[in-house]
Amino acid sequence: MARKFVRAIFPGSFDPITNGHLDVINRSIKLFDELIIAVGRSPVKNQLFTPEERVEMIAELITDMPGISVESFDGLTVEYAAKKKADVILRGLRSLTDVQYEFQLAMTNRAVAGIETVFVMTSEQYGFTSSTLIRQVASLGGNLTKLIPKNVHNRLQQRLKKRES
């Protein structure tokens, strides 16, 4: 019996992408034939980078990663997944708090659109990291070199300097 081709989407705001996100991406590509990093446009969140800037930063990080692409999308994740003919939605988990929220979301996505969700636990050293926390620490001048990729760190510093002036 031939093995089925499996396409996954990894949706998120990625504002900015963290080493925790990259950890999930690097480990999950082994599970799927294709992974689309889907940068969502959220009208609710106060975003530091535009969706285009986030796609650019992620594209720089995945150039040498076969089977992975990045693009932005509007609207519901399940509608985007259907448009891309994705078999699963990939979600990273950091903590028990994530589990409760993500479980509810996964059940809703399956009920509404019939799409399954696959969870990948982030490595222990990134279990506390979130884009929101990164933005807060950066705004207070904290050292983020171990938590975000170098290209993202450079852009974050530039953005914060621009906001200060």
> Model confidence over 50-96: pLDDT tens digits?
999 999 999 999 999 999 999 999 999 999 999 999 999 999 998 88
> Model confidence over 1-28: pLDDT tens digits?
777 899 999 999 999 999 999 999 999 9
pLDDT > 80? residue 115: yes
In the chain, domain spans: 7-164
In the CATH scheme, what is the homologous superfamily, with its name and number, of domain 7-164? HUPs (3.40.50.620)
* Marked catalytic residue, from 45, 83, 146, 150: 45
User: Active site includes 4?
Assistant: no
Side chain identity, residue 46: N
DSSP letter (8 states) at residue 38 = E
CA pair distance 32, 28, nearest whole angstrom: 7
CA pair distance 46, 29, nearest whole angstrom: 30
User: Active site includes 110?
Assistant: no
CA pair distance 52, 117, nearest whole angstrom: 26
